[in-house]
Structure 1
Amino acid sequence: MDTEKLKDEKKDDVLFDIRHLTHTFDTEDGKKFDALSDVTATIKKGSFTAIIGTNGSGKSTLARHLNALLIPTEGELYVEGMKTSDFSHIWDIRQKVGMVFQNPDNQLVAAIVEEDVAFGPENVGVPPEEIRKRVDESLEKVGMTAYRTHSPAMLSGGQKQRIAIAGILAMKPDCIVLDEPTAMLDPRGRQEVMDTIHSLNEKEGITIVLITHFMEEAVTADYVMVVEKGKLRMEGTPREVFSQAEKLTEWGLDVPVAADLAHGLRQKGLSIPEDCMTDEELEEALCPYVSKM
């Protein structure tokens, strides 16, 4: 296969192509503040990418660039070859990339669940027969069919967020960007949402970009990007990223409990693999030491 064809195939795999993106805000005292500074990265189609960082790191600003809610001050961002700063592409980009935010109450607009899921397609003129089909399919995919005639106000936080996701699914996006969708939920609600988005990624092939400060959520992704003070500091697989515990701690981030404990044990002289990430892997690594006791 020739080199040019290989380049084209690699390009076809890319959903988001971020090139030297800088986003500058004006502060209240008239000064300039770079929420993002010279960020360059790509996100592949069909992947599950987690973007992590402390509060104020710029990760949510980056999320809003992915479906052109924000436009770069400098640099460029392409969504399947469409430049977000080209306003003729805005509608196509937002159909391709759906957004789910932290507070589901801010996204639920109707008094009945199925009406809420139908809201988006109705507003873009989808025929009634197709809307009914999309509502049925979307509720089934998030496991909320039994609640279709309920009031969203009567649902738990996790259920509300799954309805918000269903409303995005009804628009038939290729990608869903979730900006800290579990931050306001209890552990059960968090697990419901994480199970839902993993299922959408694995079974439906939908690209997922998850903004989170929960490291146990990020460790389940295919790929992790670390943003700190507006800069992309590190990226790689969860094993590659979370094995660098000292750097993450320096940037104010935690690491998964098993990875943190493994790091501490290595400092004590135990031979624990650098990429030890889960409870099961740590248990296996400790077995030889337990057997000697």
Structure 2
Amino acid sequence: MNNDSSILMSLAPVSHDLGGFKVHRTLPHTLRTMVGPFIFFDQMGPARLTAGEGIDVRPHPHINLATVTYLFEGAIDHRDSLGTFQRIEPGAVNLMTAGRGISHSERSPADERSGGAVLDGIQTWTALPRSSEEQEPAFEHIAADRLPVVEGDGIRLNLIMGEAFGARSPVTQHSPTLYAAIDLAPGAAIEIEREADERAVYLLEGAATIDGIPLEPQNLVLLAPGHRPVLRSALGARLMLCGGAPMDGERHVWWNFVSSSRDRINEAKRAWKAGEFALPPDDHDEWIPIPDVPKTVSYP
């Protein structure tokens, strides 16, 4: 906790070494499950794997959430049970809405593997409102050149989701959402708007302060509502801003499943074990089994 009025708390990550690269996870956290609709926040890498190697996340299921993938470097091939195949590259957005249920895989493209695949990006999950948790699953890809860019005085802000800083993103939002990538040149500063009820800042690299308070890399820093704090960097920094309106009630997380109902999660566990989820039609020979002890759980 920080006693300064600009900051509510700072969430330190749990880091996992996945063999060749690390993932830093700040949501869900023992102190906080969600920030706005964001219920999962992973920094993937940055990493370069050895020649011939790549990322191979086998098919796995989701329910009652939407995944948002945003890369800074590298590429990922997305395949899902709707029959989607989509390569995502830096600056673009993959939004996969699981709804009542979907499965997908994420793998390094063949052309990325020869020299050793590169991975640097953020994957988040947003919870769906109760009224749309069981909607039909869907997928959308928004190319980098369709996302609004706000620039000026050493600032470059890519608005990934929502409406802020005088711009509006075309990416679907299932509830009021704020999500942006921010690059600050040395000496640059930006005032964080207060329109979103819940906001958090994440320092990817470099050095930055919020109202003079230094930020720790890979920590998700929750901002006090109603304040317009100033984000500043003396040496340059790359950051993420996320948040939005509070969700309409508690959400539970177990492995890759999110829901307002624990019973619904238990049903999804049963269905995946029983092979009742469809698999991607062009990636169905292997899949990730249900773990005995998942790494992603809600608290308590």
TM-score band (shorter)?
under 0.3
The structure with the larger Rg is 1
For normalisation by structure 1, the TM-score amounts to 0.27
Q: Which has the higher helix share?
A: 1
For normalisation by structure 2, the TM-score amounts to 0.26
Q: Which has the higher strand share?
A: 2
